[in-house]
Structure 1
C-alpha cells in the first residue's frame, strides 16, 4: 500500500505555552533541533493583541493566537542533519506566506515518528504601530465593551465599578502592532496547498522514487487511516478504526484486480460508507463502533461483488510487443494471487460452519483442530492481502490502483491496434486488384510500442493526483 504524507494543522489558544512546550529539552525526551524567525517579544505582543481583539469582538469560544502544523517525516530523514532539515522546512513556509514561525524537530517516545512542529502567526507586524489617542475620555465596561458615557460604568454611589476602565483624554485607548488575521489560513485550500508543497519538499530529498510519499486523495477508492498521537486516550479505539479502514482498502485492491470498475467501487464507498456514516452521525453523533460496522458491511458487500465477478481474465493478445506482454504477465500474477485469496476466503466460512456443527464434550480435540485451522486460514488471508501490492511494486508500480489504471489504458491501445489491423486485413482481402493492396499500409507497430512505453513510465512514476492515508500516513 502506498505511504501517504501526514500534515496536520491545529489552532493554538496559548501560543507562548505551546512554544515553551515544544522547544524545551526538559519537557521533550527526543528534541533534536529548534528554530525561530522571531523572538519572545514578538510572540508575547502577538498573544496580547489577539486576546484584546477577541475581547473587543465579544465572540464566544476561545481566542486563537496562532496555528501549528505537525509534519511527519520518513525514517530516512533521521540520517540528515537535524538543524538543517528544520531550517529548510521552516524557511520554506516563511518565504511562501511571509509570516513568523517557531519550530522544533522531535521523535516520539518509541522513536517511531520523526516529525516537525511548526507554529506560525496569522498576523504580520505593521511597519509602524497604529496608535489611537483619545480626544475625550473613553469608557469600557467589565466585558471590555466600549460604552458611550461614564454613567454606564458607575454604581449607585457614582464610583466606577470594579473591572471597568476609563481612558482619559489624550491617553492611548487602542494600539495595534499587527495586521488583522489573514483569513487564508482558515481555509481548506490552504491546508491542501501546504500538504502538496511539503510532500514535494519531503520527496525532493528521497532518491528512491518507490519511497516517495503521496498526498491522500479523498476521492480515491481508499479510506484514510488516522494518526495516533502521543498519550492519546483513544489510541485503542483509533487502532481498531484504522484496522477496519485497512481491511476496506485491501478489499478495494482485490476488487480492482478482479475486474470491478473503479467507478463501482467508488459508488459503494460513497453510498455504503460516506452517506450512511453521515446519516448516523447526524442522528446519533460520532460512534466509532458504529462506523466500523458500517465499513465492515460495505467490505462484505464488495467481497460479494468480487465473488460474483470472479470471471477469467481476458485472453492474452498474441502480439509481438514485449512491453505489453510484461504487463500481461504481471496482471496474470496478481489475478492468480487474487484467486488464491478468494479460495481461502470461501474456505473460511465452511470451516466455521463445520465448527458450529461439532458438539459434545468428547469432541474437544476435533474442535481445537478446526479452530487452529480457521485461525491459520484467516492469518494467511491477511498476510496475502497485505503482500498483494508488493508484486506490483517490484516492477515499479506504487499500488494496485495505479497499475490497473495503466494496464487498462495499455489494453485500450492494443485493442485499438487490433481493430485497425483487422480493418486493414479486411480491405486488403476485399480488394481484387493486386495493385490496390499497395494503397493500404498496416498500422505501425512502432507507434504502439511507443505509447505502451509512455503509459508504463507514467504508471511507475506517477506523483499522485489521488490518495494519506492525514490522514494522511
Structure 2
C-alpha cells in the first residue's frame, strides 16, 4: 500500500516515536532529520511555482506487510534488510520503522521516501533584478503588488534585491517513476522476493498474483472496520479457492 504525504516531517516523527507507537521495534534512516525539512521546503516552493491546485505532495510512504514469524529475527537487522533492498535500486532518502499493530496481529514496515535525488552540487539562483513575493510565496512582477496602502511591504511578503540568492535547491526534480503503477508493481515483486528469501516456513512464502490470472487476492482489514467479519469470511473463501488452484497446477505438472 502506498500513501502520498503532505506533512512528511510530522509523519517521520510519528512512525519513529516510541512515545506515540505502542509496538515500535526498530527505526532506520538513511538521512539526517534536517533532510526532511529541506525536502519539504523545496517541494512546497516548486508546488507554489507550478500553480497546481490541491495540496503539495512532499514524500511518499509504503507499508510492507510481513509474515508473523519474522518477528523472531533481530529487529534492527530485519528492518535494514528490507530497507536496503529499496535503497539498492533507488538513490533517495528514506526513513523506515518496524511496527506491530496494537493487537500484535499485523507485523509491518512503514517506509517513507523522497521522490527526489540529492544534487551533487547545491544549486543557488541569483536574482538578475529585484524580485517580489506575496504572502503565499508566489513571485509577482512589481513591488506595488506587495505594498500596503501606506507604501510599506505587507507582513509575509518578501523583497529580494538584485545580486542576492533567491532560491537554493538541494534536490533534483521529482522522479515521475514514483507515481506510476509500474513502480508499485515492481515494489510488490521486490518485497515479495525479499520475504521469500528469509522465511523458513513454506506456508508463509508469498506470490504476487497477476491481473487476469486464476488466483484471487485477499483484502486488508482496516482498523475498526465495521465489515471485518464479512471481509474475513471473504478472505477465507478466496484462500480456499487459491488452494484449489494450487492443486490443479500440481496435477497439470504431473500429466
Q: So what's the TM-score if we normalise by structure 1?
A: 0.51
| Structure 2 residue 43 is matched with structure 1 residue 50 | yes
Report the alpha carbon displacement of residue 54 of structure 1 after superposing the two structures with TM: 1.4
Equivalent in the alignment of 1:228:
221
Q: Is the 8 A contact 1:122 1:185 kept in 2?
A: yes
2:245 matched residue in structure 1: 401
1:153 to 146, 158, 162: 146
Deviations 1:213-242 (A, max 9, x none): 11233323454332233xx34x12254245
- Residue 179 of structure 1: which of 172, 176, 179 is its match? 172
Among candidates 37, 46, 52, match of residue 30 of structure 2? 37
1:11 match: secondary structure: strand
Residue of structure 2 in register with 1:451 after alignment: none
**Measured at CA, do residues 241 and 78 of structure 1 come closer, stay the same or move farther in structure 2, by a change above 3 Å?**
closer
Q: What is the distance in 1 between the residues matched to 2:201 and 2:218?
A: 24
1:174 partner SS: strand
**Superposed CA offset, 1:78-105 (max 9, x none):** 1111110001111111111111111111
Deviation at 1:181, TM superposition (A): 0.7
Q: Which has the larger radius of gyration?
A: 1
Alignment match, 1:81:
74
Q: Which residue, 124, 135, 152 being the options, matches 1:131?
A: 124
Q: Map of 1:324-339 to 2, 5 A cutoff?
A: none
Distance 1:239 1:129, change over 3 A: farther
How far apart, CA to CA, are the structure 2 residues paired with 1:241 and 1:207? 28
Q: Distance in 2 between matches of 1:239 and 1:226?
A: 12
Counterpart Cα distance in 2 of 1:199 and 1:245: 19
Judging by fraction of residues, say which structure has more helix: 1
Residues 13 and 400 of structure 1, relative CA distance in 2, 3 Å threshold? same
Matches within 5 A, 1:190-339: 190-229=183-222, 232-233=223-224, 235-244=225-234, 246-247=236-237, 249=238, 253=241
Structure 2 CA distance, aligned partners of 1:250 and 1:82?
29
Partner SS, residue 226 of structure 2: helix
Structure having greater relative contact order (Cα 8 Å, sep ≥ 6):
1
Do the aligned partners of 2:43 and 2:57 also contact (CA within 8 Å) in 1?
Answer: yes
Q: Is the 8 A contact 1:141 1:165 kept in 2?
A: yes
Change (3 A) 1:12 1:218: same
Conserved? CA contact 2:215–2:245, under 8 Å:
no
- Between the aligned partners of 2:44 and 2:74, the Cα distance in structure 1 is 38
Does the aligned pair in 2 maintain the 1:226–1:238 contact within 8 Å? no
Q: Any stretches of 5+ residues in structure 2 without a counterpart?
A: none
